[in-house]
């Protein structure tokens, strides 16, 4: 993987981790944490797709590859915290 793609992926992973930690440490959410975590991370993934739409070539990917990379990163983060 080229360095720009690796850096993009790492940045996305870091941002998703930060969001996951915010959800998981919010005691007011109670038993809804898992559901809220999944929804939040999926929304972050959708936002990333919208934000970078049309710019995939700048990091060396096609639009489809970028979308797949985002989907895989979101799924990996969800699986890390939620037992499906």
pLDDT digits 0-9 by tens, 39-73:
999 999 999 999 998 999 998 999 999 999 999 99
Q: Which residue has the tokens 């590859």?
A: 65
21: containing domain = 3-81
Q: Would you say residue 26 has pLDDT above 90?
A: no
Give SS3 for 13.
Answer: helix
Q: Answer whether 9's CB lies under 8 Å from 61's CB.
A: no
Number of domains the chain contains: 1
* Dist CA 51 CA 9 (whole Å): 14
The predicted model scores a pTM of: 0.88
């Amino acid at each position: 993987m080229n360095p720009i793609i690796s850096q993009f992926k790492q940045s996305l992973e870091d941002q998703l981790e930060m969001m996951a930690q915010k959800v998981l440490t919010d005691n007011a959410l109670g038993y809804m944490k898992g559901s809220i975590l999944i929804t939040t991370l999926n929304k972050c993934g959708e936002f990333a797709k919208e934000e970078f739409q049309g710019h995939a070539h700048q990091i060396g990917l096609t639009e489809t590859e970028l979308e797949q990379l985002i989907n895989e990163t979101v799924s990996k983060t969800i699986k890390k915290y939620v037992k499906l």
